[in-house]
A and B are shown apart, each in its own frame.
Chain A
């Protein structure tokens, strides 16, 4: 029996780890979601270098492992004078990674909205900005919503590697517990079960939030 009891030794650290993991994904979805919309707009820009730049960004981040992106941000960027603490580095890397996938998904959604919708909005005398924000974008997001939800879950699961830069997420707390108890398998089995629960809850929560934002009846 550990000093301070089971609660102190295992439950509190694990709850703390869960809250860090959830905070990471919440910030990533807010920041990355917004940037994905901007990225998708850039991918459809009339200016070729904006289009090309956004395209290369997407390819670069989708064709390299997240853990390498994380190490580059955390260990590599200080050489350029950008020194981030583990939490900021994790949010930064996760946001960059999520945005690359999100940009492609939102772009596919925008491509799927019939051009007549935009024309109809304009014919009603709406400003271009309003047409995009109130007419085209909601329809685009609805059509790719299931893919976006899956990407949120994938990003949350990939965030397990932020433990490698000593950020105290769920995996890091499990690392600490197994190094004290020498019960690695049992500890990681519990952590795995928690991640499974988190991915189910997250899928449902994001689905519900999306339903409220974009209207019911999402696929």
Chain B
């Protein structure tokens, strides 16, 4: 059977939907757990803080591939039978939460200390200080690096092919085995990832420039 370039490209683009979906879901769940981790990292008791810091350091100091393997092979030991897509989502969520918590901590710490003190002087409770005064300011600073992290996340999803999730790279391996055209297949795959990531990179850069102008 002959494969035309269009056959290859069409199947790759269909598979790219799963890459996009996994990235979006991992970003949402990773963002939520990252926020929780940030709260523990900055507002918990000393023991909790140390635990949250250790969590972040372990996830930033080990390969994502190992983290995916541990989730994929570890959960069955607990009696949970997880399909590849769920293991992929869980692994990416954990990794993303560690990275996002660390990025966002930098943003919160960039808000001058006087803002906390002023909010305290207004008689606000610690949680309300964060919610009403600090977070709105930190959020503005956080948008460009968060969009930048999305690029890293989209690229990370390629590793989930190794634990058997049928995203873009896994599909391209299958197509490559059928067509014996690795140059074309992996070249197109690279271009598709580029088409997903480059607009995010540009957006992050534009947002950063706009923020720099606004806070000058």
A interface residue numbers (CB < 8 A to B): 59-60, 62-69, 71-72, 75-80, 153, 157-161, 163-164, 171, 178, 184-185, 188-189, 191-192, 195-196, 199-200
Q: How far is the CB of A109 from chain B (nearest CB, A)?
A: 18
Q: A185–B194 Cα gap in the complex (Å)? A: 34
Given contacts A75-B176, A195-B61, contact A68 B66 (CB under 8 A): no
Mark contacts of B177-194 with chain A using CB atoms, 8 A cut-off: 1 yes-contact digit, 0 otherwise: 000011101110110011
Cβ contact within 8 Å between B183 and A80: yes
B interface residue numbers (CB < 8 A to A): 58, 61-67, 69-70, 73-74, 77, 151, 155-156, 158-159, 161-162, 169, 176, 181-183, 185-187, 189-190, 193-194, 197-198, 201
Q: Whose C-beta in chain B lies nearest to the C-beta of A67?
A: B158
Q: Interface on chain B toward A: helix, strand, loop, or mixed SS? A: helix
Q: A78–B182 Cα gap in the complex (Å)? A: 9
A195 surroundings in chain B (CB, below 8 A): 61-63, 66
Cβ contact within 8 Å between B193 and A65: yes
A171 surroundings in chain B (CB, below 8 A): 63, 65-66
Q: A169–B158 Cα gap in the complex (Å)? A: 20
Q: A173–B168 Cα gap in the complex (Å)? A: 27
Q: A164–B68 Cα gap in the complex (Å)? A: 15
A160 surroundings in chain B (CB, below 8 A): 63-66
Given contacts A185-B73, A188-B73, A196-B62, contact A67 B197 (CB under 8 A): no
